[in-house]
Structure 1
Amino acid sequence: MHAHAGHWPADGRVSMRFALLLTMASICFCIGTTTARADDAPSPKNRAEAVQIIADLRHIVTPQGIERHEKVRIGGIDQWVSIRGTDKRNPILLMVHGGPGWVSMPTSWYFQRGWEEYFTVVQWDQRGAGSTYVANDPAAVAPTMTPERMIADTEEMVSWLRKEFGRDKIFLLGHSWGSYLGLEVAKRHPDWLYAYIGVGQMTNMPQSERDGWQFAMDEAKKTSNTQAIAELNSIAPYGSGPKPITLASLMVQRKWLNQFGGMVYGRTGGQAEGAAMALSPEYTDADVAKIGEASEYSLNKLLDKVLTLDLSRVQKLDCPLVLFLGRHDHNVSSSLAAAWFEKVQAPSKRLVWFENSAHEVAVEEPGKTLMSLVKYVRPLAADVPNN
């Protein structure tokens, strides 16, 4: 307060009058607000009203803006994308979601709006996930649910964006499972990318799973949680030996890892984020109803492949690399990702730590995520003017 003392009126009577005016203005504002609430403001009685409020609030109105939500033919099936930005001259940023099957399009209304002022942001529901799952026959798609097909889909999506918007390069941001797909594209087609951005970057997944189990056990012992200790012991030795980790064992490990803040820092899991998906303006009621089913479908098809990956063997990239890592991420070990970052070679590389995040960096620290994208990522598109 003392830094602003010089701005207040010196005369006592003027000061009193000034304070009275402020009080009156406050009262008038409150009355006006109350009246508006009573007479005009929408009151969401159901999902349709709630999502319409969000859709109206985030509507793109700028002359050069873009706001598209459509199906694109990728890998022989219809796949849903959302393309949003206030200036379509900005560089394109494709976000490749995690999981497998944990879509980011339906929560992007919360964390992405600021990005859209600096990038044309593309959300994409992958094969077997979200609204793309709903748009296709799961039985017909099932034989194609392989890592190589998912990588090929990602390549096709990048190619489609480059052609659709007449761009030589885009940014690709991969989160969690998406960091595997994104890293593969960066390895195979570095000339397509201004940079690869890894968030919750996967590296040595067998070791990450073992470390996650140990984190959960350590926390269980600290808090004398006998139920957690017993359940974690029931799946020991977890992630060791030749047998693959089963979905049932994974769910026990994740149950307690999440409970102790290893997925979302300071919280007991991703319930809030999961609930926010129901408020997505892009999703129909049917899409929302099928989110969990789609996620389980993708996990059942791809989980055994995911948990055996060791991406720490990647030693060199030919495009810039940026990592956003949550300091408290035990869902996908950020310490292992940081160790890999130290060794990997790239034309340029930067690691940004998020001290108040675990695995869901964009949701947990949306302000720092936006600032980091603008400060460290956007300048790498040197051929695109700052509008």
Structure 2
Amino acid sequence: MKRLLWSLLGLALAGLSASAFASPPSPPSPHNRAEAVAIVKELRRVVSDNGVERLETVRIGGIDQAVSIRGNDRRNPVLLMLHGGPGWVAMPTSWYFQRGWEEYFTVVQWDQRGAGKTYVASDPAAVAPTMTRERMIADAEEMVAWLRKEFGKDRIFVLGHSWGSYLGVELAQRRPDWLHAYIGIGQISNAPESERRGWRWTLQQAERDGNAVAVAELQALAPYAVGNAPVPLQRLFQQRKWLNHYGGMVHNRRGGDAEAAGVRLSPEYTDADVAGMWKGNDFSMEHLLSGALTLDLTSRRSFQTPIFLFLGRHDHNVSSELAAAWFDTITAPDKQLIWFEQSAHEVMIEEPGKTLLTLVQQVRPIAARAGDVAP
């Protein structure tokens, strides 16, 4: 017996000695985008008993439009996110901010007409004449109608971010009986005045920073966003370059590079989708952005559905200060404004934990009172 134990110990020591001098193991994966995406995909795979995980196209407004539908229990309330931009899709970064939502909602990410996977699957020349605000609103109505039928729901939640907040307000005005509530992030209120305030704030930051180049470029834009006239895109991009640099879009970051890089880890997006997403972003901006910057929603003051605003305290991309002033003037069955003190325009990415808690603790109870939650 002692001889056997000594033999086993010798083998173990020999193995230890050999391993000490062995070549180091090869670097662990991921070695490329495909391996990284596979890791993210498996980590976020919906494995709950009554879950839903779908990536498909839906015929909306005469074309196929891409949706991702994810949730741990299909009996939970449906939450449709209307992405910003126009053209800045949320689906390819939802892997980062959305996973917790899926425990309490069936979350739908939709790449709108002219954007993301929907752009890639369409003929841009055929779609271009349809890129109007009214068509986009009609698409949103059709999407909500489809979701209500698909999941057997009388009402759903709609969350609009930035450009999507315009579509969301229009839905809340036109179809309040279809909604549990409307949630606005980066809420548009008076877009021309927001542009003027964003330019002034950015110039102040540049002056404080002693950045002569930025000051000169910004002053060259004056007068900026005059009246309600559309801002030419080249002037807008010049303003945004420095606004982003000083954290007006993402607090304490110089622009949205981290968010843009996150697109490449999206399990929903192929390499072709990633490349096409940027083309779709340009396409959507070309057709819709200048007009969107003329929007003034402050005349919409009476709502028949609950309204929630999640506002980043440091949002100068779409003025949260103006959105809060508009919020004070509206009437609704219930309304709540929640400030996110460490956020600018990308609230759900900048403060994902607080976003989740607010959705669960303050928004979802509306569905619970209506009996629209999983038991």
* TM-score with structure 2 setting the length: 0.92
Could you say which residue in structure 2 is the equivalent of 1:316? 302
Hey, what's the Cα distance between the residues in 2 that align with 1:80 and 1:243?
33
3-state SS of paired residue (2:216): helix
Check whether the contact 2:60–2:142 (CA below 8 A) recurs between aligned residues: yes
Could you say which residue in structure 2 is the equivalent of 1:275? 261
What letter corresponds to residue 282 of structure 1 in structure 2? E
Change (3 A) 1:243 1:86: closer
Change (3 A) 1:102 1:311: same
The answer to whether structure 1 residue 227 and structure 2 residue 200 are counterparts is no
What letter corresponds to residue 372 of structure 2 in structure 1? V
What letter corresponds to residue 206 of structure 1 in structure 2? P
Hey, what's the Cα distance between the residues in 2 that align with 1:234 and 1:280?
39
Could you say which residue in structure 2 is the equivalent of 1:336? 322
Change (3 A) 1:165 1:38: farther
- State the Cα distance separating 1:38 from its structure 2 match: 4.9
The correspondence for 1:257, drawn from 243, 268, 274, is 243
The answer to whether structure 1 residue 384 and structure 2 residue 372 are counterparts is yes
- State the Cα distance separating 1:235 from its structure 2 match: 1.1
Hey, what's the Cα distance between the residues in 2 that align with 1:197 and 1:99?
17
- The alignment's C-alpha RMSD in Å is 1.2
3-state SS of paired residue (1:93): strand
- State the Cα distance separating 1:304 from its structure 2 match: 2.0
The correspondence for 1:245, drawn from 231, 239, 245, is 231
3-state SS of paired residue (1:281): coil
- State the Cα distance separating 1:313 from its structure 2 match: 1.1
- State the Cα distance separating 1:385 from its structure 2 match: 3.8
Structure 2: 5+ residue stretches without partners? 1-23
3-state SS of paired residue (1:359): coil
Hey, what's the Cα distance between the residues in 2 that align with 1:243 and 1:111?
36
Deviations 1:302-345 (A, max 9, x none): 01210110011111110000000000000000000000111100
What letter corresponds to residue 109 of structure 1 in structure 2? W
The answer to whether structure 1 residue 326 and structure 2 residue 343 are counterparts is no
What letter corresponds to residue 367 of structure 1 in structure 2? G
3-state SS of paired residue (2:57): strand
The correspondence for 1:348, drawn from 315, 322, 334, is 334
Hey, what's the Cα distance between the residues in 2 that align with 1:250 and 1:196?
29
Hey, what's the Cα distance between the residues in 2 that align with 1:323 and 1:47?
36
Could you say which residue in structure 2 is the equivalent of 1:175? 161
Hey, what's the Cα distance between the residues in 2 that align with 1:38 and 1:353?
48
3-state SS of paired residue (2:84): coil
What letter corresponds to residue 343 of structure 1 in structure 2? T
The correspondence for 1:300, drawn from 275, 286, 293, is 286
Structure 1: 5+ residue stretches without partners? 1-36
Deviations 1:37-62 (A, max 9, x none): 958x9501111111000000000001
3-state SS of paired residue (2:109): strand
What letter corresponds to residue 286 of structure 1 in structure 2? A
Hey, what's the Cα distance between the residues in 2 that align with 1:42 and 1:66?
31
Could you say which residue in structure 2 is the equivalent of 1:79? 65
Change (3 A) 1:64 1:386: closer
Hey, what's the Cα distance between the residues in 2 that align with 1:304 and 1:369?
30
3-state SS of paired residue (1:303): helix
The correspondence for 2:121, drawn from 132, 135, 147, is 135
Check whether the contact 2:115–2:284 (CA below 8 A) recurs between aligned residues: yes
3-state SS of paired residue (2:328): helix
* TM-score with structure 1 setting the length: 0.89
- State the Cα distance separating 1:241 from its structure 2 match: 4.2
Hey, what's the Cα distance between the residues in 1 that align with 2:253 and 2:264?
20
The correspondence for 1:92, drawn from 59, 78, 82, is 78
What letter corresponds to residue 187 of structure 2 in structure 1? Q
Hey, what's the Cα distance between the residues in 2 that align with 1:111 and 1:304?
29
Could you say which residue in structure 2 is the equivalent of 1:206? 192
* Identity of matched residues, %: 65
Deviations 1:111-153 (A, max 9, x none): 0000000000000000000010000000100000000000000
Could you say which residue in structure 2 is the equivalent of 1:266? 252
3-state SS of paired residue (1:290): helix
Change (3 A) 1:167 1:38: farther
The correspondence for 1:157, drawn from 123, 139, 143, is 143
Deviations 1:155-207 (A, max 9, x none): 00000000011110000000000000011000000000000000010000000
Which region of structure 1 is more displaced relative to structure 2, 42-51 or 181-190?
42-51
Check whether the contact 2:192–2:227 (CA below 8 A) recurs between aligned residues: no
Hey, what's the Cα distance between the residues in 2 that align with 1:247 and 1:96?
23
4+ residue segments displaced more than 2 Å? 241-244
Hey, what's the Cα distance between the residues in 1 that align with 2:147 and 2:71?
14
3-state SS of paired residue (1:336): helix
Change (3 A) 1:241 1:192: closer
Deviations 1:4-55 (A, max 9, x none): xxxxxxxxxxxxxxxxxxxxxxxxxxxxxxxxx958x950111111100000
3-state SS of paired residue (2:298): helix
Deviations 1:249-276 (A, max 9, x none): 0001100100000000000010000010
- State the Cα distance separating 1:242 from its structure 2 match: 6.2
Hey, what's the Cα distance between the residues in 2 that align with 1:324 and 1:243?
28
Hey, what's the Cα distance between the residues in 2 that align with 1:42 and 1:49?
10
